[in-house]
Amino acid sequence: QRKNPFSNDDRLASKPVRTHRGDPTYGRPPEGSQTEQRGKDAHSHVGKEVEELCLIIRSTGEVGEDGHVSVTFGKLFETYVTISNKVVGILLRARKHGLVHFEGEMLWQGKDDDVIITLL
């Protein structure tokens, strides 16, 4: 519906702006909207969780010969699960940003407890 017949608000009568692939605003919420603000808040929250995960790895891990701190997934899971139940998701985000390294696509509790996670 282009116009809401139950409203006197003329803003609703305007045609919504359509974006196309290649447009820098494509797939993004309107600037200044509550949706944009919620996205920014979520991004900030995840960033803080990644920082906290790195601190936990630094405090529970051991420094290797290469100078990097490493910890097994099992030990990290046991420590971090009391803080957050999103251990694997936060690890994947940290790897995406180049903060940690581990082998494999996904880590599973029990099966991958011996996988080494290295803080870069």
pLDDT score, position 80: 82
**Tens digit of pLDDT for each residue in 44-97?**
999 999 999 999 999 999 998 989 999 999 999 988 877 777 888 999 999 999
Ordered structural domains, the chain, with CATH:
48-119 (1.10.10.1540)
Using alpha carbons, list the distances in angstroms from residue 7 to 3, 13, 14.
Answer: 8, 10, 13
pTM of the complete model: 0.70
Q: Tokens representing 33?
A: 């909207």
* Spatial contact of 107 and 91, defined as CB atoms under 8 Å apart: yes
Q: Write out the two tokens for 85.
A: 């139940």
pLDDT, tens only, 47-58: 999 999 999 999
Judging by DSSP bridges, how do beta strands 116-119 and 100-101 pair with one another? antiparallel
More confident residue, 114 or 10: 114
